[in-house]
Structure 1
Amino acid sequence: MHKSISLGRYVKKRNGVPLGAPGSLQAMLKRSFGAESFYVFWQYWNPIWGYYLSRNVMRPLNRVLPIWLSILLTFTVSGALHDIAVTVIKWQATFFFAPWFTLMGIIVLVSKLYNISYQGDSLLIRSLFNLFYIVFSFCLTIVFQRMYG
């Protein structure tokens, strides 16, 4: 991401429609779930959150760390921020999202490393693949939590 890109331009680039425009949620869902890989899924998912993670976590980390580690740590930070939000709302310590998001980050990196793509498949099949990775990592996180938590 270029240093001076605005949030509005970033969202339009990711969603194809301006920030807050009618249909922006549907565009994000269609582009993200219909993405050709799990790696690309995350380029479209929640572009506002992605913008701030990119500017404030990913880019600073990438100045001193390899890209793969920057990606993984960005997923972990995002999960940790979700854990903090849930902890504040429930007023009970939560440690679920950081491991879950870290696991999704690992899947992203593996899918990129092995060039796992379903580009030629229908929107439905691409959506099912992307949803599978999210649900699989969620279930695996629950299993780990029960085994070690």
Structure 2
Amino acid sequence: MNLSDYVIKRNGVPIGSSDSLRNMLNRSLGAGTFSEFWQYWNPIWGYYMGMYIFKPLKSILPSSLSLVLTFVACGFIHDLAVMLIKWKFSLLLTQWFLLIGLSVILGKYTNINYSKFPLIVRVVINTTVIAGCFFIAHQTNNLW
């Protein structure tokens, strides 16, 4: 699947559409599982992470480990951008994305599904998981 088709599949509209951001936010924040959140969040970035990190890892490692390592790689790429700007070493975002990846796996393993809750509840759950992972990563990062 090429990028254009992938974005339409995830976002419901083509790249550059005026409805792209709205659709991404509605679909991701309103997702009924935390793994579903990540299927819709930033589809362009997700396409490349899936194509160049997840798929190659999945060919040699279990799917769950490949997923977690893909999140770690994503966090590290974000950290590299911050380090280039600040000229200061930090792995905060790598830690954060590690926790997010583990949360995705935990949610799948335990079959946590909140799709029957109203939209606002799903939004609160998804943002709470993301914020909770950041809080823990931030607290852990302060220990270094």
Q: TM-score band, normalised by the shorter chain?
A: over 0.9
Instruction: Tell me the residue number matched to 1:112.
Output: 108
| Alignment-mate amino acid for residue 97 of structure 1 | L
What is the distance in 1 between the residues matched to 2:32 and 2:62?
24
Deviation at 1:13?
Answer: 0.4
What is the distance in 1 between the residues matched to 2:88 and 2:110?
39
1:143 paired to 2:130: no
| Alignment-mate amino acid for residue 90 of structure 1 | K
Of 78, 90, 93, which residue of structure 1 is paired with 2:74? Answer: 78
1:52 is paired with a residue whose SS is helix
Contact 2:91/2:141 (<8 A) preserved: no
User: Which digits, 9 at most, give the CA deviation of each residue in 1:14-73, with x for residues without a partner?
Assistant: 001111101100100000000011011000000000000000000000000000000000
What is the distance in 1 between the residues matched to 2:91 and 2:64?
23
1:68 paired to 2:61: no
What is the distance in 1 between the residues matched to 2:27 and 2:73?
24
1:90 paired to 2:86: yes
Deviation at 1:94?
Answer: 2.0
Aligned pairs for 1:126-137 (under 5 A) are 126-137=122-133
| Alignment-mate amino acid for residue 145 of structure 1 | N
TM-score normalised by L of structure 1: 0.95
What is the distance in 1 between the residues matched to 2:118 and 2:43?
24
Deviation at 1:104?
Answer: 0.5
Instruction: Tell me the residue number matched to 1:7.
Output: 3
What is the distance in 2 between the residues matched to 1:105 and 1:60?
17
What is the distance in 2 between the residues matched to 1:15 and 1:122?
21
Equivalent residue pairs, number: 144
TM-score normalised by L of structure 2: 0.98
Structure 2 unaligned blocks of 5 or more: none
Q: Could you list the runs of 4 or more consecutive aligned residues of structure 1 that deviate by over 2 angstroms after TM superposition? A: none
1:41 paired to 2:21: no
| Alignment-mate amino acid for residue 38 of structure 1 | F
Deviation at 1:141?
Answer: 0.8
Instruction: Tell me the residue number matched to 2:22.
Output: 26
| Alignment-mate amino acid for residue 80 of structure 1 | F
Contact 2:32/2:122 (<8 A) preserved: yes
